[in-house]
Structures are given as C-alpha cells and as structure tokens.
Structure 1
Amino acid sequence: MIKKIFSYLIPIKIYQSKSSLSKSIEVTWANGELVLDSENANYSYGSLQRILRIGLKNIGFEKIAAMEHILVLGVAGGSVIKTLVDEIKFKGKITGVEIDSDIIKVANKYFALDKIPQLDIVIEDAFEFVLKTKNKYDLIIIDIFQDTTMPNFLFETFFINRICFLLKSRGFILFNTMILNETQNIRNRKYVSEFYENQFRIRTIPRIEIHNELIVIEKLE
C-alpha cells in the first residue's frame, strides 16, 4: 500500500527480469496502479489499456458483451482481457495467444490473469495459431509488439486474409499499431487498402498516446 501511494510521486519498480524473447520485463507501480513494461514500451495496463479501451468503445461495449468468442493475439499482462471482463462484463469465451511463456507467469503472479475462468491461454506464435485454429471469432484483437517493433507478418496479405476468414459475419478486428515514421504510416495505409469496401467497414483512430493508431475493421457478410 505504501508503494502504491508513493507511486503517485515517482514510479516504483517491484519486479524486473528477462525472458528468451524480451530484453526486459518490468512490473512497476505508477500513478497508483501496477503496469507491465518492456525496455521501451508499455505492454499492459497504463497507456496500453487506455488505448485498447478506446478501440473497444468504438466498437460498442453492449455489442461486445453480447459476443460469444473473442480472440486476443498478444496477451502480455492481459489488460485488455481485464477490460473485457471487469468493465464490459463479457461472459463468453476468451482465447489468448502469447508466444512468451515467461510473461504469462508474470501476468499470473502480479495481475491474477489465471483467475479469469473463461480465459484459455495458448502459448504459441500468433501466426502458427491463426493457421491452425478451426474456430470462428466475433472479435479478434491484435496487439503484438516486440518492444516497439511489430512483426512483418501482421501486414502480409496471407495473414490478413486468414484473419478475415476466422471472423464471423458482423465480426470485428481491433488492431493496435505503432507509427514512429513515415514508412510505418505508408505501411498502415497499405494495410487498410487490402480490405474490400463491399465486404468490410474500416475506420482508423490515429495518434492515440502520440504514436498509436487503432484500426477497426467490421466484416459485413
């Protein structure tokens, strides 16, 4: 409790480690809440939770609450899952895919991720999971970063087509991206152009927390 109070004055780090995939995993008290960070980016809670909450509000909390199955690609500490369960009161199934088993151990210990009954965590590369899954989803949340870098496969046509195939009719994709330069801005514009207007409704929410751009895609048929 003392650390939580003092964190309003200065961030207080309570845990730091490395994993085979992350140079640094840090848990810190900041402004009265626990956050999970990498070396240069917020991984869960804090600004990231605010960013994805905006995207979920854009889709509509009531609409999400009525869904049956949500896929989260990139779990980290699980802040978007906590938003789904605690704020939106989502009662359906959540499948979370995370490549880094060490970060899930941290999420279980400090953020009680393993106490969410409808959550199924799969330790696997998101690309491999998407290739193999036979399920269809009402909402696919894509939030995959390695520090401040996004894997190239997220923007490749094959992956885009596969994600779209896994969406139910009237389902949504919520894609969190980071734009640090003009090349990445062009990358995002190209990504949006991959979707056919008669099959998808697309909107972007730019410059959230300065560098993030959310892409919201609705499947129309």
Structure 2
Amino acid sequence: MLKRLLSYLYPIKIYSQKSDLSKSVEVTWANGDLVIDSLNTNYSYGSLQRILKLGLKNIGFAKIKKMESVLVLGVAGGSVIKTLIDDIGFSGKITGVEIDSEIVEIANRYFKLDKIPQLEIVIDDAFEFVLKTKDKYDLIIIDIFQDTKMPNFLFETFFIDRICFLLKSKGSILFNTMILNEADNLRNQKLISTFRKGNFLIKSIPRVEKHNELIVIEKLL
C-alpha cells in the first residue's frame, strides 16, 4: 500500500526481468496503478489500456457485451482483457494468444489472469495460431509489439485475409498500430486502402497517446 501511495509522486519499480523475446520487462507502480513496461514503451495497463479502451468504446461497449467470443492477439499483461471484463461486463469466451511465456507468467503473478475462468491463454505465434484455428470470433484485437517494433507479417495480405476469414458476420477488428515515421504512416494508409475495396467499414483513430493509431474494421456481412 505504501508503494502504491508513493507512486503518485514517482514511479516505483517492483520487478524487472530480461526476456529473450521482449528484451527488458519491468513491473512498476505508477500513479497508483501497476503497469508493465518494455525498454521504450508501455506494454500493459497505463497508457496502453487507455488506448485500447478508446478503441473498444468506438466499437461500442453495448455491442461488445452481447458478443460470444473474442480473440486477443498479443496478451502481454492482459490489460485489454481486464477492460473487457471489468468495464464492459463481457461474459463470453476470451482466447488470448501470446508468444512470450515469460510475460504470461508475470501477468498471472501480478494481474491474476489465470484466475479468469472465461479466459484461455495459448502460448503460440499469432501468425501460426490464425493459420491453425478453426474457430471464428465476434471481435479480434491485434496488439502485437516487440518493444516499439511491429512484425511485418501483421500487414501482409495473407495474414489480413486470414483474420477477416476468422471474423464472424457483423464482427469487428481492433488493430493497435504505432507510427514513428513516414514509412509507418504509408504502411497504415496502404492497409486502410485495401479494406475500402471489400465488404468492410474501416476507420482510423490517429495519434492516440502521440504515436499510436487505432484501426477499427467492421465486417458488414
């Protein structure tokens, strides 16, 4: 409790670990909340939770609450899962895919993800998972970073087509991206232009927390 109170004055690191995949990972009390940070960015809770919550609000809390299944690609500490359950009251099944088992261990230890009965965590590469799964989902959340970098496969046509195939009719995709330079900006513009040709509604929420751009996609049929 003392550390939590002092964190309103200055951040207090309570845990740090070197991860082969995520490099440096820290758990810190900041402004009264526990957050997970990588070397250069917030990984879970803190600003990231605010970013994804804004995207979910854009889709509509009431709409999400009625859904049956959610796929989260990139779990980290599970902040978006906590938002789904605590803020929205989502009671359906949540499947979380996370490649870094060490991050999941931290999330279980500090944020009790393993105590959420409707959550299934799969330790796997997101690309491999979407190739193998036979399930379809009402909402797919893509939040995959290695520090400030996003894997190239996230923007490849094959991956995007597969994600859309896994989406149920009237379902939604929430894609959290980071724009650090003009190349990243052009990358996002290209992605958005591909959806304008198909059976989708797409919109972007630019410059959330300075560098993040949220892309929201709705499948019409």
Instruction: Name the TM tier (shorter chain).
Output: over 0.9
Superposed displacement of residue 197, structure 1 = 4.2
**Could you tell me how far apart the structure 1 residues matched to 2:4 and 2:120 are?**
30
- Counterpart residue number, 2:219: 219
What is the TM-score when the length of structure 2 is the normalising length? 0.99
Name the % identity.
76
Partners in 1 of 2:151 and 2:46 — Cα distance? 23
Unaligned 5+ segments in structure 1 are none
Deviation at 1:157?
0.3
Q: 2:97 is paired with a residue of what secondary structure?
A: strand
> CA offsets per residue over residues 78-110 of structure 1, 9 Å max, x none?
000000001100000000000000000000000
Q: Tell me the SS of whatever aligns to 1:194.
A: helix
User: What is aligned with 1:88?
Assistant: 88
Following the alignment from structure 1 to structure 2, what is the Cα–Cα distance between the partners of residues 106 and 195? 36
Matches within 5 A, 1:15-54: 15-54=15-54
**Aligned pairs (5 A) from 1:39-78:** 39-78=39-78
Measured after TM superposition, the shift of residue 138 of structure 1 is 0.2
Where does structure 1 differ by over 6 angstroms across 4 or more consecutive aligned residues?
none
Check conservation: 2:196, 2:202, Cα contact below 8 A.
no
User: Aligned letter for 1:20?
Assistant: D
Match of 1:124 in 2: 124
C-alpha separation in 2, matches of 1:209 and 1:23: 23
Distance 2:142 2:212 in 1: 13
Partner of 2:158: 158
Deviation track 1:175-217 (CA, whole Å, cap 9, x = no partner) reads 0000000000000000111214450000000000000000000
Alignment coverage as a number of residue pairs: 221
CA RMSD of aligned residues (A): 0.7
Under a length normalisation based on structure 1, what TM-score does the superposition of the two structures give? 0.99
Q: CA deviation at 1:29?
A: 0.1
SS at match of 2:40: coil
| Cα pair 2:73 2:126 within 8 Å, conserved | yes
Q: Secondary structure at the match of 1:90?
A: coil
